[in-house]
C-alpha cells in the first residue's frame, strides 16, 4: 500500500515525505510538477517508491490504476502565489484537482489530509473555522475557501477521514525554491547575510512600521500535527498556527539575532536594531493595498477540542532552528 504526497517536492510536502521516512515509511508516491526543476533538491535526502507528474497521477487515479493500493493521501500540491491573476488556472489547479482526489478517497475509503489556508479569512479579525468569518481577498484564497465548503458539506456522511488544515504563515527548511513566495524569515536571512540589514514595510493598516502581525508557524510543528492526525484518523477543518500573533519586527529581530548567535555576538532589541539601521522600513507597496492581511492569529479551540495537545514554537525558537539549517 502506498502513501501519496502531492506537492511532494514543495515546501511542506517535502517535509512530510521526510517525516514519513523518519517513521519507517518509504513506500511513498511523490506527486508534483517539476516545471521548476530545482525543487527536486528537496527530495534528495528522502526515500520514495516513485515520482509521478501531477497530471499523470490524476489520469491514473481516474482510470482506476490505483484502486485498492493507496493507504492515505497527503495533499499539499497547489499554486500558492497569492498574486496570481489567472483565475481559471488557479481554480483548475487548486479546486478541481482537489475535488478529484476527494472523490477518489471517498470511493476508496482512503484518508485525505489536505492543505487549506488562513487566506480564507481575508481581511477579517476573527480567525475561527466558521463560515461567517470567511471572506478571501484573492483568487488563491477563494480556491481554498471553495474546496473547504465542499468538504464541509460532505463531512457528515463521510466514511473515511477528511482533514483540512488552514495553514497560517509557515516558515522553515525546504522552501528555498519558492522565490518571492518564500517566508519572510527566509528573505530576512538572505538580506542580512547579503547587506547586513533587513527590510520591513512602513506603517500600514493602522499598524506602526513593522508592527503588522502574523501567526508565524514553524514547519516542524505543521508536520507534527499532520502526522498525529494521520495516526488518529480524526476528520474536520482546523486552523494550524501557533495561536499567537507576533510582529514582523519580532520576526526580523529573531532572524538577525539567530545569525548573530552563529557569530558569537550578543542579541539586540528591536529598538537597537532600528537605531543601527539593521532593520529598515520601506514604503508599503501599492499593489498590496486592499489585498494584505495586517493581522492573523489562529483560533486553536477547534484543534484543541479534537485532542491535539502539542505546543507550537514562538518565532524566537523556530527561527533560531531554521537559521541553523540555512547556515549549514
Greatest distance between any 2 Cα atoms in the chain:
63
C-alpha separations of 3 from 14, 65, 148 in Å: 13, 15, 23
Residue 132 in grid coordinates = 461567517
Given this model, what pLDDT does residue 291 score?
Answer: 76
Q: Does residue 93 have a pLDDT over 80?
A: no
Q: Which of 95, 97, 140, 218 is catalytic?
A: 140
What pTM, to 2 d.p., does this model score? 0.94
Closest CA to 147 of 110, 185, 93: 93
Q: Which of 178, 197, 199, 291 is catalytic?
A: 178
Given this model, what pLDDT does residue 106 score?
Answer: 97
Q: 277-317: per-residue pLDDT in tens?
A: 999 999 999 988 887 889 999 999 999 999 999 999 999 99
Neighbour count for residue 133 (Cβ, 10 Å): 15
Question: What band does 82 get if pLDDT is binned at 50, 70 and 90?
Answer: low
Q: Does residue 263 have a pLDDT over 60?
A: yes
SS3 for 195-249 is HCCEEEECCECCECCCCCEECEEEHHHHHHHHHHHHHHCCCEEEEECCCCCEEHH
Active site residue 140: yes
Active site residue 178: yes
Amino acid at each position: 500500500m502506498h502513501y501519496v504526497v502531492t506537492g511532494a517536492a514543495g515546501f511542506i510536502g517535502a517535509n512530510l515525505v521526510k517525516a514519513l521516512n523518519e517513521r519507517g515509511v518509504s513506500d511513498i508516491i511523490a506527486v508534483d510538477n517539476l516545471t521548476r526543476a530545482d525543487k527536486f533538491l528537496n527530495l534528495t535526502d528522502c526515500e520514495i517508491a516513485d515520482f509521478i507528474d501531477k497530471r499523470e497521477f490524476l489520469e491514473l487515479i481516474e482510470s482506476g490504476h490505483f484502486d485498492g493500493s493507496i493507504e492515505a493521501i497527503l495533499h499539499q500540491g497547489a499554486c500558492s502565489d497569492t498574486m496570481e491573476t489567472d483565475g481559471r488556472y488557479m481554480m483548475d489547479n487548486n479546486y478541481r484537482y482537489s475535488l478529484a482526489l476527494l472523490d477518489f478517497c471517498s470511493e476508496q475509503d482512503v484518508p485525505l489530509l489536505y492543505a487549506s489556508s488562513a487566506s480564507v479569512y481575508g481581511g477579517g479579525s476573527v480567525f475561527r473555522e466558521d463560515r461567517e468569518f470567511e471572506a478571501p481577498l484573492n483568487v488563491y484564497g477563494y480556491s481554498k475557501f471553495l474546496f473547504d465548503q465542499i468538504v464541509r458539506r460532505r463531512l457528515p456522511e463521510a466514511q473515511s477521514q477528511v482533514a483540512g488544515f488552514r495553514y497560517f504563515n509557515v516558515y522553515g527548511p525546504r522552501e528555498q525554491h519558492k522565490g518571492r513566495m518564500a517566508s519572510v524569515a527566509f528573505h530576512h536571512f538572505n538580506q542580512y547575510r547579503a547587506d547586513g540589514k533587513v527590510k520591513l514595510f512602513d506603517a500600514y493598516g493602522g499598524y506602526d512600521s513593522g508592527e503588522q502581525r502574523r501567526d508565524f508557524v514553524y514547519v516542524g510543528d505543521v508536520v507534527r500535527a499532520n502526522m498525529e492526525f494521520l495516526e488518529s484518523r480524526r476528520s474536520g477543518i482546523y486552523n494550524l498556527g501557533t495561536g499567537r500573533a507576533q510582529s514582523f519586527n519580532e520576526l526580523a529581530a529573531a532572524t538577525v539575532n539567530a545569525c548573530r548567535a552563529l557569530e558569537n555576538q550578543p542579541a539586540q532589541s528591536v529598538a537597537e536594531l532600528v537605531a543601527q539601521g539593521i532593520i529598515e522600513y520601506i514604503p508599503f507597496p501599492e499593489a498590496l493595498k486592499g489585498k494584505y492581511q495586517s493581522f492573523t492569529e489562529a483560533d486553536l479551540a477547534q484543534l484543541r477540542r479534537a485532542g491535539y495537545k502539542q505546543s507550537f514554537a514562538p518565532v524566537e525558537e523556530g527561527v533560531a532552528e531554521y537559521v541553523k539549517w540555512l547556515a549549514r
